[in-house]
Structure 1
Amino acid sequence: MSQGYAIELYFDPALENQVLKAWNVLARRQISTHLIEIESRPHITLYSSSFAEPTKLESIVKNFASKQEPLSLSLSAIGGLPNDNNVLFLAPTPSLSLLQFHSQLYDALKKEGIEITEDYRPDSWIPYCAVAQDVPKARIGEAFCVLRDLKLPLQGFAHHLSETYITPEIGIVGTIQLWRLLGPGFDSKDVTLSVKELKIQIQKSQLPNHPAGVISLI
């Protein structure tokens, strides 16, 4: 498979840190380190395809983000995907606002002729935030026990949309653009953020064994 692109929903720093703590515990127990190794960030994937045109996606997502406000999220359940990657996740409560957000993005993509696979269509999309990948089958039960110790629900907001490029060999490679969700009346200069322009705060004190720390948007 060739390089692909995804549209992802990123969390506010407080919610992101709570999810990263789960990543860190699983890594310290040597259950799963994959998401840390590829320098991923906690997110919910709204769309992914290996056939998308990045410049076309950028225009669509920038316009869409300018009309959206921060989205309330409640990560309230744990689960796993029935595939070879042994992915474990935290699932958000499927609130009307979250489902409408995804449906509106779907409509915006479809209107511009973007091909959307069945997994990301509103009637079959499963929203989730991955917390572990490539978990050994013999340790899946242990991983669930770790996640059960989380004080769910984890509550916060989705503050940014991201256009991310991926490769099938190693997964997420990097973020192309980030857009703040500001709602009507936004200042256009505040919407698009180049990754190089982000102020990065490494908070190793909160995650002592997370090699990359926590990346927070200030």
Structure 2
Amino acid sequence: MSQGYAIELYFDPALENQVLKAWNVLARRQISTQLIEIESRPHITLFSSPSVEPTRLESIIKSFASKQEPLLLSLSTIGSFCNDNNVLFLAPTPSVSLLQFQSQLCEAIKKEGIDLGDEYRAENWIPYCSVAQEVPKTRMAEAFCVLRELKLPVSGYAMDIGLVEYSPVRELFSFGLGNTVEA
């Protein structure tokens, strides 16, 4: 049963592998395996909604992706949100190009009459790449220590943008940035 939809920004293979390395280290230490179990892919969420018609988003995303170039990213910070989900993440250095990218996508979505929700408005959006979810509170410090062993920053490019249904994660479609051909 679907819990929602998300537009995700995907990385080049080298950057994706750096994030997967973090997932695997946390899984081996039995701290968190949820992202692996739900078959997620390393990404930055650009927009999410509990109910949206995927076919309405496909043409928006395809058109948007065709006008964009691969985006330089540098995952430079380890963080956590102050909520009960106990999410740990790697955050990109918030470049003007990344912030404009997300803002322009949301403007295109809003023009189609789709509600953004507060979390994805330009002034509220926090870019991050999850590396662990539902970490037991008693293991948060250990998880941070494990992530500190990563040699940050790790840099690469955002190469694709896609729509997924969750959970479990199922990619509905994706498009390469700067291409008009489906990825």
Mapping for residues 197-212 of structure 1, pairs under 5 Å: none
Q: Which amino acid aligns with 2:86?
A: N
TM-score with structure 1 setting the length:
0.82
Whether contact under 8 Å (2:34, 2:133) holds in the other structure is yes
CA distance in structure 1 between the aligned counterparts of 2:51 and 2:174, rounded to whole angstroms: 20
Mapping for residues 176-215 of structure 1, pairs under 5 Å: 176-182=172-178, 186=179, 188=180, 191-193=181-183
1:26 corresponds to: 26
Whether contact under 8 Å (1:79, 1:91) holds in the other structure is yes
CA distance in structure 1 between the aligned counterparts of 2:168 and 2:82, rounded to whole angstroms: 20
What runs of 5+ residues in structure 2 fail to find an aligned partner?
Answer: none
Whether contact under 8 Å (1:23, 1:131) holds in the other structure is yes
> 1:46 aligned to 2:42?
no
Name which of structure 1's ranges 91-100 and 171-180 shifts more when overlaid on structure 2. 171-180
1:121 corresponds to: 121
Q: How many residues are matched?
A: 183
1:3 corresponds to: 3
1:206 corresponds to: none
Q: Which amino acid aligns with 1:165?
A: E
Structure with larger Rg: 1
CA distance in structure 1 between the aligned counterparts of 2:37 and 2:62, rounded to whole angstroms: 29
- The answer to which structure, 1 or 2, has the higher relative contact order (CA under 8 A, 6+ apart) is 2
Whether contact under 8 Å (1:19, 1:131) holds in the other structure is yes
Identity within the alignment, %: 69
Whether contact under 8 Å (2:2, 2:165) holds in the other structure is no
1:159 corresponds to: 159
TM-score with structure 2 setting the length:
0.97
CA distance in structure 1 between the aligned counterparts of 2:63 and 2:148, rounded to whole angstroms: 39
Whether contact under 8 Å (1:164, 1:172) holds in the other structure is no
1:66 corresponds to: 66
Distance 1:2 1:28, change over 3 A: closer
Segments of 4+ in structure 1 off by > 6 A?
A: none
Q: Give RMSD over aligned pairs.
A: 1.2
SS at match of 1:192: coil
CA distance in structure 2 between the aligned counterparts of 1:163 and 1:131, rounded to whole angstroms: 19
What runs of 5+ residues in structure 1 fail to find an aligned partner?
Answer: 194-218
Q: CA deviation at 1:119?
A: 0.5
Q: CA deviation at 1:3?
A: 3.4
